Amino acid sequence: MLGSLLRRSPRPDSGRTPDVPVNWGRLFSYMRPYLKWMAVAFVMILGTSALSLVFPLIIQQVIDAVLVENSGDLLNNITALLIGTFLLRAVLSAIDTYIINYIGEKIVYDLRVDLYNHMQSLSLSFFSKRRVGELVSRLTSDVTTLRNVLTTNVNLFVQQILIVIGSLVLMVLINWRLTLFIAVVTPIMAGLGVALGVILRRASTQIQDELAAANVVANETIQSIREVKSFVREDYERARYDGAVRRALDIALKVLRVRAVLGSAVTFVGFGSVGAILWFGGREALEGRLSGGELVAFLVYALSIAGSLGAILSLYTSLQQALGASKRVFEIMDTAPSITDAPDAQIVTRADGRITLAGVHFSYDVRQEVLDDITLDIAPGEIIALVGPSGAGKSTIFNLIPRFYDPTAGAVLLDGVDLRAITQYSLREQIAIVPQETLLFGGSVYDNIVYGKLDAPRDAVIEAARNANAHDFIMGLPDGYDTIVGERGIRLSGGQRQRVAIARALLKDPRILLLDEATSSLDSEAEHEVQEALGRLMQGRTTVIIAHRLSTVRIAHRIVVMQEGRIADVGSHDELIARGGLYARLHALQFRIEDALADMPDDPDA
d(CA 357, CA 350): 20
Question: Whole-angstrom Cα distance, residue 175 to residue 294?
Answer: 9
Output the CA torsion 329→333→338→343 (10° steps): 170
Strand partners of residue 409: 361
DSSP at 33: G
Binding window for ligand ATP (CB under 6 A); candidates: 2-10, 28-36, 363-371, 480-488 = 363-371
Per CB under 6 A, 396 contacts ligand ATP:
yes
Q: Candidates 222-230, 341-349, 362-370, 586-594: pick the segment binding ligand ATP (CB under 6 A).
A: 362-370
**Among the residue ranges 33-41, 161-169, 393-401, 580-588, the one whose residues contact ligand ATP (CB under 6 A):** 393-401
Angle at 454 between CA 138 and CA 486, to 5 degrees: 60
367 touches ligand ATP by CB under 6 A = no
Judged by CB under 6 A, the residue of 353, 393, 489, 510 near ligand ATP is: 393
Class of residue 479 by CB neighbours under 10 A (exposed 0-12, middle 13-18, buried 19+): exposed
The distance of Cα 348 from the centroid of its chain, to the nearest Å, equals 34
Q: Which of 97, 395, 408, 572 binds ligand ATP (CB under 6 A)?
A: 395
User: Residue 5 in contact with residue 255, Cβ under 8 Å?
Assistant: yes
Position among 191, 364, 522, 570 found at the interface with ligand ATP (CB under 6 A): 364
Pick the stretch among 23-31, 232-240, 392-400, 473-481 that binds ligand ATP (CB under 6 A). Answer: 392-400
Q: Near ligand ATP by CB under 6 A, which window of 294-302, 364-372, 465-473, 487-495?
A: 364-372
The 8-class DSSP code of residue 560 comes to E
Pattern 126-155, binding to ligand ATP, x per CB under 6 A? --x---------------------------
Asked if 123 is part of the footprint of ligand ATP (rule: CB under 6 A), the reply reads no
Q: Does 394 bind ligand ATP (CB under 6 A)?
A: yes
390 binds ligand ATP (CB under 6 A): yes
- Least Å distance, CB 259 to ligand ATP, is 46
Q: Which residue's CB is nearer to ligand ATP, number 8 or number 566? A: 566
Which of residues 116 and 364 has its CB atom nearest to ligand ATP in the complex?
364
Q: How many residues bind ligand ATP (CB under 6 A)?
A: 12
CB of 428 to ligand ATP, least distance (A): 19
CA distance 555 to 543: 11
User: Do 99 and 151 form a contact (C-beta atoms < 8 A)?
Assistant: no
Query: 434 and 505 in contact (C-beta within 8 Å)?
Result: yes
Choice between 148 and 563, CB closer to ligand ATP: 563
DSSP 247-274: HHHHHHHHHHHHHHHHHHHHHHHHHHHH
User: CB-wise, 87 or 409, nearer to ligand ATP?
Assistant: 409
Q: Is 171 in the site for ligand ATP (CB under 6 A)?
A: no
CB hemisphere CA count around 553 (13 angstroms) = 26
Interacting residue with ligand ATP among 243, 391, 535, 540 (CB under 6 A) = 391
Q: Using CB under 6 A, pick the residue from 190, 392, 401, 505 that binds ligand ATP.
A: 392
Distance between CA atoms of 166 and 438, rounded to whole angstroms?
A: 65
Stretch that binds ligand ATP, among 224-232, 313-321, 384-392, 580-588 (CB under 6 A): 384-392
**Residue 434 binds to ligand ATP (criterion: CB under 6 A):** no
- Compare residues 313 and 370 and give the one whose CB is closer to ligand ATP: 370
Q: Which is nearer to ligand ATP, 92 or 419 (CB)?
A: 419
Stretches 80-88, 200-208, 322-330, 387-395: which one binds ligand ATP (CB under 6 A)?
Answer: 387-395
Shortest CA distance to 449 belongs to which of 436, 464, 433, 439? 464
Query: In three state form, how does the secondary structure of 357-416 look?
Result: EEEEEECCCCCCCCEEEEEEEECCCCEEEEECCCCCCHHHHHHHCCCCCCCCEEEEEECC
Q: Footprint of ligand ATP on this chain (CB under 6 A)?
A: 128, 364-365, 370, 388, 390-396
